Structure 1
Amino acid sequence: MGQFMGPLDSALNSVVTEVNEFLAFKDALPVALDFMAIASWALLLSFPVAILTAIFNYVLAKRGSKRLEKYKADVDDLKKKVAALESFIEQLPVPAR
């Protein structure tokens, strides 16, 4: 009798394993769906944040380029003043020793 029960026992173990896996999947499905819903909302909210960040970086870059242009204009102005001072110094008489 025992030799005939071996295949039946194996088949029942296989069925029980499959049922347990199905029940585990059924229990995990709501958690996975909640996770997917939360992840979808997070992704949806990340797009406006990314757009706002891009706009903010653009404004900062424009402000930086304006500041750089101002510094370049200041340097050019200072170069002109130095050239004027050098030409003035060249016109001064050199004292005799």
Structure 2
Amino acid sequence: MYEVGGTALPTAEDPRRGRGSFGDAVAAASATGAVMLGVFNVYRDLAVASFRRSAALDAETACFGHGGRVTADASRALRESADACAPTR
């Protein structure tokens, strides 16, 4: 699925395997592994809303276009980061 507010890169979920692939919509910091909103977004408010929708997916593992991957309890890491993201308004 395309995440509004981000670049035209796909987001996909494989619920049978508990995996989410988030393209550039979400990233993981290389040094710490912290999950964060991707930096390649056009409209921040829409990107944050898309991030929150993506964080609602059930995923044990999450892969990103940039940074490492989260290999355990990815849903928790995604939700915590999405909840901390403030829109620009």
| TM-score interval for Structure 1 and Structure 2 normalised by the shorter chain | under 0.3
User: Which structure features the higher share of strand residues?
Assistant: 2
TM-score (ref. length: structure 1): 0.17
Higher CA-based Rg: 1
TM-score (ref. length: structure 2): 0.19
User: Which structure features the higher share of helix residues?
Assistant: 1
